[in-house]
Structure 1
């Protein structure tokens, strides 16, 4: 899709952010300015990992907002298979409807982690758990709002960036300028590929609004989630002015080697590769998550 810029004023959506402090995740409700249609980007399902207990406070807050505003949910979008939080998309879909979408390379992620978690042949690795698998350059609508996708791998193979009018949701491809970028050492990740994907995002117009999937408040600042392409190009500590691809790859690979695995990676991957559904219950109706020993 060719981006028409400056964006028509009728194509400037309202964006409502929901920050989940337990996982440092920001979910969004994006509203078409010309109708009641909306989409959710990167919703969260809560888990008390030590107690093995699922709850839905984060998802319920989004549902309450959509209902209070009288909105119609059309899409539940996942920017990628998250390794640090569980998706609340199916729970919200059951309450409000809408279609769940993710990048088409979810099938690569399912194949890798289907083996890691020894899921067997009953676990479908064809993306059929989702309502739509987006390709690079796909277009879709939220009411009258024109949207398109960019495949931006590197953090994971299935990462997709979504542009809606004058806003873009980068997933984990970029962080705020003082946060830099996400890790690239998960299976299927690659620092050089991530750098190239970031350049695709930074090729958007300078005043394109960018919304992050995570923020960690570096150096003690307040949590933030909105910036612009121009600010990222000037100030991003990993890919801003003067940073070469070689610089980035050297830094990213060294930094990733020092990082611990995300606290919720075990439950997150098992749930999110299923589109946000828990693994099937056993014959007694009990649901279990697996812990592969030395398997990640």
Structure 2
């Protein structure tokens, strides 16, 4: 046959050259066929994973016991100077929702639509990226999407924290957990034990003449929004307590602060007049505040 076909030559086929079609699916080889290279998932592999998880958990527990949680003061809804911040792993979302195109009237876009698209994309990756290649530089679309996402998360996290630090400096605010820790250390150094007062020496003072007409005017004035109903101010925010303010300021001085402001506090005269108070009311208010002296 190799030298050409001759007429009348008899051709004999040896065996059956046809390829038979397989009628049953190929069964994968059992892991036991690869000694030293594979193992049973349960319990061998799962036990190893559990042991790694236990080691990580013990490390976290040791960190928790060695470094106490940085706690601030109890929540104060009247503290308008407090700057709320989420945990570090949510900072990028916190910053993302500050932008105008995903907030205000577009808040649904930022809180529902964009996260839904992101999660849907993650769910569809196994169905869209069907290439057999495992090296990331051989999968440009998937790899590029991953790197862009990581860069965006890193950038938003940095910007969020940078803005927070700048805001603290601008408002001259010490974070509550830092201020509280400083007060506890100062109390320990002064022999006062581990407990630190929330508002320093002002905590020892009490409200004077609580039934005075000026006390009722105070509840209607703008002062209560910052200094609080108990006159304790806002620790860590630069807003002083009004308990004992009469030892430092006279009635005329207090009226001057209301009309002209002082430090970071702007004048409050126009705002109080707009709330319906009169000059006589502000005079009674200043007189009552001047009565607040340490006992």
Larger Rg belongs to: 2
Q: Tell me if both proteins adopt one fold, taking TM over 0.5 as the criterion.
A: no
TM-score (norm 1): 0.24
TM (normalized to structure 2)?
0.24
Is the strand fraction higher in 1 or 2?
Answer: 1
